Chain A
Amino acid sequence: MTVHDEWTDKLSEYLDGELSGDEQRAVEAHLHGCADCSLVLADLKRVVARAQQAGAVARPPSADLWSGIAARIDAGRSATERSAKASAERAANVTPFRATAARRFAFTLPQLAAAAALVAAVSGGLVWSVVERAAPRASEQLATAAPPAAPAAADPSPDVPDAVDRIAPVGMADAQYDAAVSDLEKALKQGRGRLDAATIAIVEHNLQIIDQAIDQAREALAADPANTYLSGHLVEARRRKLDLLRRAAALTSETD
Chain B
Amino acid sequence: MTLSAEPPVRSGLDGDVALAAAGDSSAFERLYRTHVAKIHSLTRRMLGTHEADEVTQDIFVRTWQKLGQFRGESAFSTWLHRLALNVVLERRRTFAVQRERMTDDPTAIDFVTVAPARADLVVDFEHAIEQLPAGAREIFVLHDVEGYKHREIAAMLDITSGTSKRQLHRARMLMRKHLQGE
Contact = CB atoms under 8 A, between A and B. Distances in A.
Interface of A: 9, 11-13, 18, 40, 43-44, 46-48, 50-55, 57-61, 63, 65-66, 68-70, 72-74, 76, 97-106, 192-193, 200-201, 204-205, 208
Contacts of B23: 101-103
B3 A61 contact: no
Given A52-B144, A66-B32, A59 B68 contact: no
A53 B122 contact: yes
B113 to A, nearest CB: 15
Contact of B144 (A40, A47, A99, A204): A47
Given A12-B169, A55-B147, A58-B38, A208 B65 contact: no
A200 B32 CA distance: 37
A8 to B, nearest CB: 8
B87 to A, nearest CB: 13
Contacts of B168: 12
B6 A47 contact: no
Contacts of B33: 66
B3 A204 contact: yes
Contacts of B146: 55
A70 B25 contact: yes
A192 B3 CA distance: 11
Given A44-B176, A50-B175, A57-B41, 8 more contacts: A12-B169, A50-B179, A54-B145, A58-B37, A59-B40, A59-B44, A61-B52, A204-B5
Per DSSP, chain A at the interface is: helix
Given A12-B172, A51-B145, A72 B6 contact: no
B180 interface: yes
B66 A101 contact: no
Given A12-B172, A18-B165, A104-B65, A48 B144 contact: yes
A13 B25 CA distance: 47
B157 interface: no
B172 A44 contact: yes
Contact of B65 (A43, A99, A106, A205): A106
A19 to B, nearest CB: 10
Contacts of A59: 37, 40-41, 44, 123, 126
B37 A73 contact: no
Nearest to A104: B65
Interface residues of B, number: 53
B169 A98 contact: no
B129 interface: yes
Interface stretch (B55-63, B88-96, B97-105): B55-63
A54 B145 CA distance: 7
Contact of A98 (B3, B29, B53, B180): B3
Contacts of A48: 144, 172
Given A54-B126, A61-B53, A65-B53, A47 B179 contact: yes
B85 to A, nearest CB: 14
Nearest to A200: B3
B159 interface: no
B6 A65 contact: no
A60 B180 contact: no
A40 B176 contact: yes
B80 to A, nearest CB: 13
Contacts of A13: 165, 169
Contacts of A204: 3, 5
B7 interface: yes
A105 B65 CA distance: 7
Given A59-B41, A60-B40, A97-B3, A72 B61 contact: yes
A14 to B, nearest CB: 10
